[in-house]
Amino acid sequence: MVWRGWALALLWAGAAFGQTGDGGVSFGSPTTAPRFSERERVPVTLPLWRAPLEYNDEGYAVLAASGSRVVGLSGQTLWAREAASGRVLWRRGGFRPGLAANATFVAATTQGGRVAVIEVGTGRELWCHKLTVSVPSALRWFGDLLRVSGVPPGGQFGQDQVLTGLGGERRFVTRPDETVEHRAGSLLLTASRRDALLGQGGAYAAWDAGTGGRRWTVRAASFLRREGDTLYFQAVPPESGLVEGRGTQPLLAVDARTGRAVSRPVPLSFPELSGARGATFGGVALDGQCLWVAAWVGDDLRVVACHRRDGEPGGARASLPEGGRNGGRLAWIGGPALGRLWFTDTVRLVWGAKTTNGGLLAFPPHGTHTELSRLDVTGNRLVVAGTDGQVLVYRVDALGGTNTPRVVSRHVTTSRRFGPSVIVPGVLIVQGEKEVLAFPAR
């Protein structure tokens, strides 16, 4: 059985900016020098400010947004600035890549392998601990709790510690094969790496965020959505192949208080693939009305369809062109977001399918000769960085004369590779290779 139990890449950069391993989609690493295009008629918007940034290609965050402030790393110096003006609030030395911020605090990794939590507005250090992991790697906030991932001394598998933000007290430690992935109200959800690696679809455990107690477990492929006291998970189907365009995807509804799970099989219908050999399904998203499920023929993504939660027919479906374009394969990279599902060939083209009727818009954000570097959805805008060094900001709800999103601002940088872009109140923050730039948000 071929099971495509991958998680959709999150596009909500505003929620995950500066959290290692989250936010947006990065594409290839170009080696050619930037070449600025003269095609765009939108005038260039100059930056409000720019600052040097530590370059890091190992996935550790070097920039984070905290409300109307930005925290970054230049060399070994950690700093905080006002996002609108760039005014430096404070600086501290002795840090390395690996930081994360919430609305009040930044957690950062020191050169000595400690984790420090600092108040963003004042620069006051709340605590600095040497933890029982060899090197703290991924830091992430879940509300007022901090997850620190790393490998314990003598261990083979990564392990997460969850600490209180104010005092650094340890709330709980996961098992070696688990990592904290989501917060759902008063619960933290951990996913099992081991089950996923063994092809068993995965398992989730719920931990009490207040006491650190382990509450319940459920076998599931991915966490989809919380609605009140009900948590929805994608269960592993008994078979992921489509027979005459039909299949079944079980949906788990779990009571967050008790862990009681109710499985509801959702019938899948892909009539456009009824005659296709080797058709499979997998990759699921859930919103208020639809269970969105993707279907492939071989390795080609062909359809993403809404299977209505009320069981009624007529859900929207996005039929995609066969095969990849420009040497890349089509990928569903996120959504529903801004009223669309988002796809790309990971090279030059982006597709947006309307969630109401499946209507497609397809466009090369940087023209047909420039490859994509980074794509984010933030502040109700689509922000696309190209390997020519330009960053274009699109309004998806305002289509131009060619039925493509309207460019509302254009920014020129000297970077070829980009980290996440995020819009904080009134300001677009762009992370380049060795600098951070701030532009007026439009």
Please give the full DSSP string across 386-425, using - where no structure is assigned: ETTSEEEEEEEEEE-TTSSEEEEEEEE-S-SS---EEEET
- Residues 132, 120: Cα–Cα separation, whole Å: 26
Q: What is the reported pLDDT for 359?
A: 85
| Full set of structural domains in the chain with CATH | 13-440 (2.130.10.10)
Residue 155: the pLDDT is 73
Residue-wise pLDDT for 60-81, tens only, equals 889 999 999 999 999 999 999 9
For 370, 407, 421, 429, 436, the CA distances from 439, given in Å and listed in that order, are 22, 15, 11, 7, 10
Q: pLDDT tens across 394-442, in order? A: 988 766 555 678 888 999 999 989 999 999 999 999 999 889 999 999 8
User: pTM for the whole thing?
Assistant: 0.87
User: 228-280: per-residue pLDDT in tens?
Assistant: 999 999 988 767 889 999 999 999 999 999 999 999 999 999 999 998 888 99
Share of the chain above pLDDT 90, in %: 52
Average per-residue pLDDT for the chain: 84
In this prediction, residues 194-220 reach a mean pLDDT of 83
pLDDT: is 16 or 236 the higher one? 236
254, 184 in Cβ contact below 8 A?
no
Q: How confident is the model at residue 216 (pLDDT cuts 50, 70, 90)?
A: very high
What is the pLDDT, as a whole number, of residue 34? 35
pLDDT tens, residue by residue, 132-168: 766 556 899 999 999 998 877 777 777 899 999 999 9
- The band of 367, judged by pLDDT with boundaries at 50, 70 and 90, is confident
Question: How many Å from the N-terminal Cα to the C-terminal Cα in the chain?
Answer: 48
Residue identified by tokens 């954000």 is: 365
Cis ω for the linkage preceding 30 (within 30 of 0):
no
pLDDT band at 211 (very low <50, low <70, confident <90, very high): very high
For residue 131, what pLDDT is reported?
A: 78
- Residue 95, pLDDT > 80, answer yes
What is the pLDDT, as a whole number, of residue 154? 73
pLDDT, residue 403, reads 60
Q: Which of 144, 59, 50, 61 has the alpha carbon at shortest distance from 95?
A: 61
Q: Which residue has the higher pLDDT, 59 or 106?
A: 106
Dihedral of the CA atoms 66, 67, 69, 72 (nearest 10)? 20
In the chain, what's the furthest Cα-to-Cα distance? Answer: 65
- Taking a C-beta distance cutoff of 8 angstroms, is the pair 34, 414 a contact? yes
Question: What is the per-residue pLDDT across 273-300, written as a single tens digit (0 to 9) for each?
Answer: 998 888 999 889 999 889 999 999 988 8
State yes or no: pLDDT of 12 exceeds 70. Answer: no
18 — pLDDT class (breaks 50, 70, 90)? low
With a cut of 50, say whether residue 10 has pLDDT above it.
no
